[in-house]
């Protein structure tokens, strides 16, 4: 158990819909990362938050947004969903600002868009 909690574990929805994925980092970790894992694309970095502020952006679509709340949990919002958004979405946390140490991953949220 990494200490990172993600909900829901599985989500099935239709194209055009909007979903929210939630992540609770390890106790004491201020930094939260979101990654998308598709079959042929490995782990794609989406966005990073540190202590409530956005700190780095990767290949995140404009239809996607995220935030980190004062209690440090984070939410990833995916809207106008397309079939290609079907993937496993991982949240990871660490105690530092920089990705220069171990990232602790949650179990992931599997999104299926039909």
Partner 1 sequence: GENVEQHPSTLSVQEGDSAVIKCTYSDSASNYFPWYKQELGKRPQLIIDIRSNVGEKKDQRIAVTLNKTAKHFSLHITETQPEDSAVYFCAASIGRGGADGLTFGKGTHLIIQP
Which lies closer to partner 1 via its Cβ, residue 33 or residue 64?
A: 33
Long-range residue pairs from 66-70, CB within 8 A, at least 24 positions apart, any chain: 66/34, 68/32
Give the nearer residue to partner 1 in terms of CB position, either 20 or 56.
56
Please state the length of the chain.
114
The CB-of-77 to partner 1 minimum distance in angstroms stands at 19
Can you tell me the distance from the alpha carbon of 3 to that of 63, in angstroms, rounded to the nearest whole number? 29
> How near is the Cβ of 92 to partner 1 at its closest, in Å?
8
Q: Between 32 and 81, name the residue whose CB sits nearer to partner 1.
A: 32
Cβ proximity of 78 and 19 under 8 Å? yes
Quote the CA–CA distance of 48 and 56 in Å, as a whole number.
Answer: 5
Per CB under 8 A, residues contacting partner 1 are: 2, 31, 33, 35, 40-45, 47-48, 50, 55-56, 58, 90, 97-103, 105-108
Smallest distance, partner 1 to C-beta of residue 113, A: 20
What SS3 class is residue 83?
Answer: helix
């Amino acid at each position: 158990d990494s200490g990172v909690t993600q909900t829901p574990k599985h989500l099935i929805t239709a194209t055009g819909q909007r979903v929210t994925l939630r992540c609770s980092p390890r106790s004491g970790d201020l930094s939260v990362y979101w990654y998308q894992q598709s079959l042929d694309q490995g782990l794609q970095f989406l966005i990073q938050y540190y202590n409530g502020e956005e700190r780095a952006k990767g290949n995140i679509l404009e239809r996607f947004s995220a935030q980190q709340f004062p209690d440090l949990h984070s939410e990833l919002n995916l809207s106008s969903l397309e079939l290609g958004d079907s993937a496993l979405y991982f949240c990871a946390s660490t105690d530092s600002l920089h990705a220069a140490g171990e990232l602790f991953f949650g179990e992931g949220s599997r999104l299926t868009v039909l």
